[in-house]
Amino acid sequence: MINPNTTQAMTDTIAKCAAAVAGPEVTLTGVTSEIGPESIESHYDEALAVPGVLRAIQRGEQEGVDGYVIACFGDPGLEAAREIAAGPVIGIAEAAMQAASHLGRGFSIITTLARTIGQSAHLAERYGMQRFCRGIHACEIPVLDLDRDPNARKVITEACRDAIEADRSDAVVLGCAGMADMCGEISAELGVPVVDGVSAATLTVQSLVTMGLRTSKRGEYATPPVKRYLSGVPPAG
């Protein structure tokens, strides 16, 4: 479980949610990225988060990890990670949308800031989930306020309620790893399935590993060619 931002509290939430669903034979490790932003709310943040994700994967490979979850709804670095990992790598947006596609004809996504809507839309297209995704809505709570703002859960619940009405949706996808622990309550209140990507991605990796399926090394995701890299500290805010 790789948390692509550098905030340990969020890693803890992620690891807890993953542990709640993983099978008894699974050993889960939550890793906080060591390079990059404290939260990911822009393409800039995402770009600077990716090197930390890749370093975490490289360490995992040395330790023989079977598979990885990238636990940020922008799925940062997913393709590069697939090139360097032997086992499967799954993003939480990918897994959440696929799970929601089984539950009805269409779902809505509730994301944090409106500026991230474009990235969610882009991922919906990439994963073929555009036809199920009926709307993406922002609750306008910054990532790090999700567990600091006492009203967060209420605001998000209302955003979900509005979304299923406006989009005529059957289900909701929560568009941030920091919302992972809110699923049950919101679902109970609204009477529709609410999908958390952290759980979904954990179980997708577990399923692929169980089936012995790994990223194909035949084409685009083959191990990258070896070459010289100039080291250097990347820019910050």
Residue among 4, 30, 37, 175 that touches its own copies (CB under 8 A): 37
Quote the least distance from Cβ 222 to its own copies, whole Å. Answer: 6
Query: 86 exposed, middle or buried (CB, 10 Å; 0-12, 13-18, 19+)?
Result: middle
42 binds its own copies (CB under 8 A): yes
Measure the CA–CA gap between 37 and 16, rounded to whole angstroms: 22
136: which residues sit within 8 A by CB, 6+ positions away? 108, 109, 111, 117, 120, 121, 124, 175
Measure the CA–CA gap between 105 and 170, rounded to whole angstroms: 7
234 binds its own copies (CB under 8 A): yes
Mode of pairing for the β-strands spanning 107-111 and 89-91: unpaired
233 binds its own copies (CB under 8 A): yes
Quote the least distance from Cβ 70 to its own copies, whole Å. Answer: 12
Identify the sign of the CA torsion 33, 90, 118, 43: positive
27 binds its own copies (CB under 8 A): no
191 binds its own copies (CB under 8 A): yes
224 binds its own copies (CB under 8 A): yes
Binding to its own copies, residues 148-177 (CB under 8 A): 164, 168-171
Quote the least distance from Cβ 156 to its own copies, whole Å. Answer: 18
- Binding flags for its own copies, 90-109, as an x/- string (CB under 8 A): x---x---xx-xxxxxx---
